[in-house]
Amino acid sequence: MKKAGILGGGQLGRMLLQAAVNYPVETYLMENEEKAPAAHLCHHFTKGDITRFEDVYDFGKHLDFLTIEIENVNLEALEKLCEEGVIVYPNPAALKIIKNKIQQKQFYLEHNIPTSAFVETHSIEELKNNAHLFPAVHKVSNGGYDGKGVQIIRNIEDCHKGFHTAAVLEKMVNIKQEIAIIIAVGNDGQIAIYPPVDMVFDQMLNLLSYQICPAEIPQSVFWKAEAIAINAVKNLKSPGLFAVEMFADNDGNVLINEIAPRVHNSGHHTIEGNYSSQFDMMWRIMLDYPLGNTAIIQSTALVNLIGEEGHSGDAIYFGMNEVLSMDNTFVHIYGKQKTKPGRKMGHITVISNEKQELLHKVNKIKNSLSVRSQTL
């Protein structure tokens, strides 16, 4: 059996290992937290720091191949492993481009991939000197994740919130819709494209409200988005799975926002909604099997289950019975011991070919299900 490694033991690792159960593969996982969501589902668990060279190198050197569930891993160790014949998904060169937000933006420019205007900054002074881009988004170049290392700069008064380190300042896009497309790339360069997802945001909370697939977008937007996603992924020149997040503006333009070079939240609905899920697809790529079928079985809506405000501590789930009494509703709890405000604790997928049914159930789920802590 092939020996497969995963760096990181969160929900992405958990669902990857759930899909691995179908295939002949021996799984290894490295993660600092022994009770992480994925830790108990591998054949071999290694406690270690995925950002440390020695830990990653020692973990990887006896494996056939390796993947990541988060970009914040030790790149140098992956480069050395690659040189020594361990296959890494995505390859370190692609990961290097994506890990660094400045390089990622420059990559888009080089390959004529439409993206919002930007400048590189290294200090609050430089930030202030680029007021022509305001309102803008300021993002630290390295290590930002899930809202951390990101600030909205509307005007000069906001500049103190910016970052006094290598960062990228991006002109804000007049967003009409956020779309994501997942693309699988096989070892031979063959690609398979999933139908686009529409990420619907709650304008009041500035939070993802739910996502729906297939996205309801004009045909011209679909064509642009698919062309942009394919162009971006092909130019990364790496096998693996890539989630391409894009903005469609009010003028029908499509701009790339960012790429995640791995399984991604915007693809969780594929577990029930598509013949081959993103997790199944990832194993097919790594085990060098034919790519799976990305076609839709039924339309889906997906709601993230987020730790409730004001609750930190051992997680308790309220409303499971209400949600599970709805037909064709699939609950995925990530098994995190502790909840905290805003933490991703699970997701729920609804499948149906009736859009009204999807939206009705999304609303019911949002009103019934919550994660709180035992003690406030």
Name which of 145 and 289 has its Cβ closer to a second copy. 289
What is the rounded end-to-end Cα distance, in angstroms, of the chain? Answer: 47
Cα of 313 vs its chain's centroid, Å: 25
Site residues, a second copy (CB under 8 A) = 14-15, 17-18, 21-24, 27, 40-43, 275, 284, 289-290, 292-293, 295, 297-298, 315, 317, 320-321, 324-325, 327-328, 330-333, 335, 351
Name which of 124 and 324 has its Cβ closer to a second copy. 324
Name which of 225 and 271 has its Cβ closer to a second copy. 271
Name which of 152 and 297 has its Cβ closer to a second copy. 297
CA distance readout (Å), 342 to 203, 302, 368 = 16, 17, 17
Name which of 210 and 330 has its Cβ closer to a second copy. 330
Name which of 20 and 168 has its Cβ closer to a second copy. 20
| Least distance (Å) between residue 16 CB and a second copy | 11
Name which of 14 and 264 has its Cβ closer to a second copy. 14
| Least distance (Å) between residue 3 CB and a second copy | 13
| Least distance (Å) between residue 70 CB and a second copy | 19
Given a contact cutoff of 8 angstroms between Cβ atoms, the answer to whether 183 and 232 are in contact is no
Amino acid at 323: V
Burial of 12 (0-12, 13-18, 19+ CB in 10 A): buried
What is the token pair recorded at 275? 């013949």
Sign of the dihedral through C-alpha 284, 294, 300, 325: negative
| Least distance (Å) between residue 19 CB and a second copy | 9
| Least distance (Å) between residue 375 CB and a second copy | 16
Beta strands at 175-185 and 167-171: parallel, antiparallel or unpaired: unpaired
Q: Residue 325: what are its φ and ψ, rounded to 5°?
A: -85, -10
| Least distance (Å) between residue 277 CB and a second copy | 11
Name which of 39 and 217 has its Cβ closer to a second copy. 39
Closest by CA to 342, choosing from 305, 290, 295, 294, is 305
Name which of 247 and 283 has its Cβ closer to a second copy. 283
| Least distance (Å) between residue 58 CB and a second copy | 21
The three-point CA angle 338-35-321 to 5° equals 50
| Least distance (Å) between residue 46 CB and a second copy | 14
| Least distance (Å) between residue 74 CB and a second copy | 26
What is the token pair recorded at 276? 């081959």
The CA dihedral of 136, 140, 141, 142, to the nearest 10 degrees, is: -150
Burial of 236 (0-12, 13-18, 19+ CB in 10 A): buried
Closest by CA to 242, choosing from 204, 194, 288, is 194
Given a contact cutoff of 8 angstroms between Cβ atoms, the answer to whether 67 and 6 are in contact is yes
Separation CA 14–CA 113 (nearest Å): 33
